[in-house]
Structure formats: structure tokens, C-alpha cells
Amino acid sequence: MTGLTKPLVPSKRIVVMGVSGCGKTSLGQRLAQALNIPFTDGDDLHPARNIALMAQGQPLTDADRWPWLDRVAQVLSGADGVVACSALKRSYRDRIKARGGGSLVFVHLAAPKSVIAARLAQRAGHFMPAALLDSQYVILEPLSDDENGTTLPADHSLSDLLATALAALQG
């Protein structure tokens, strides 16, 4: 079930990443609970301007994202925890690692765009419109072999994802 071909460097500083609607928050909350560490939803760290842009159907630029990514890094700086954060580009993940200090593990929830689009069509009350999904897939850079992380299929059950993620995190 995992795309991982190498052992992870164990860490309790975890970023659950992927496009909107992939299940980052659901898995992140369950991981944090299982590991008895804090959970933070990266959506709660966005500046109000970013949320307004996305709600209007405007994709964020790198310049829009840098302050948000710095806030994500700050949450993980020197403390165990799980953060749900899209972390779509390698440069975003590198920034979180550099500013968060220490070892991080990335858990990428991946699925075909059609699966995520169907989920987003059912989701109500979230500022991120389904219309921005294409822009997220355009910039998505899957984890590289040299990154400390694993890729899991987002279309599997939450209980299967949790079990697989916990097994991977324990090395």
C-alpha cells in the first residue's frame, strides 16, 4: 500500500500532505491521537488574505504561500506534532524542513484527480472550491526518493491508511 522503497528516519514531527480533499485532516487527526501528540490543521494557519483568495477561486502564488509555510514550520519547530498541509512542491517541503528544524516525515496522500474531484463535489462549507483542484495538480511534485516520507493511496479506508502510516513511522 505504500510507495516507500526505503526506511523512514523516525520522527514524531509529521506533515500529512496532498491536494485539497485527499484526507489530510482526517488522517492527521487520527495519527496525532494514536501517537498522543498535537494536531494542527494547516488551513487554520493561512492568513485571512489567502483564504479570501482561495474562496474567490484564485490559486495562491508562491509569494502568498511563503508566510503560511513559515507558520507551518513554526508549529513543528522543536516540538512533536502532526500538521495537515498541502506541501505540494518540493520547495515548500524544503522550506518547512529548513525553518522547522530537525527531522520531519512527510506522508503524502495521493489519488487520481477524478477521485478527489468526486470528494470535493460532496464537501460543503470549506473555503477551497473544487475549481482550484486543477491548479493544485499542476504544481504537485510527488515526494522524491531523497525525502523522508511515504506515499499512501488516499482512496483506501482511513483505518487502513492509519495502520500503514503508523507502521511506516515506526521504521
Q: 26-53: per-residue pLDDT in tens?
A: 999 999 999 999 999 998 999 999 888 8
CA angle 95/22/2 to nearest 5° reads 80
Q: Compute the average pLDDT of residues 119-133.
A: 65
**What's the confidence (pLDDT) of residue 36?**
96
Q: How far is 153 from 149, CA to CA, in rounded Å? A: 14
- Whether the pTM exceeds 0.75: the reply is yes
Q: What is the mean pLDDT of the chain?
A: 88
Query: In DSSP terms, which residues pair with 110 in a beta bridge?
Result: 153
DSSP 82-110: EEE----SHHHHHHHHHHH-S--EEEEEE
**What's the confidence (pLDDT) of residue 140?**
95
Domains of the chain: 23-161 (3.40.50.300)
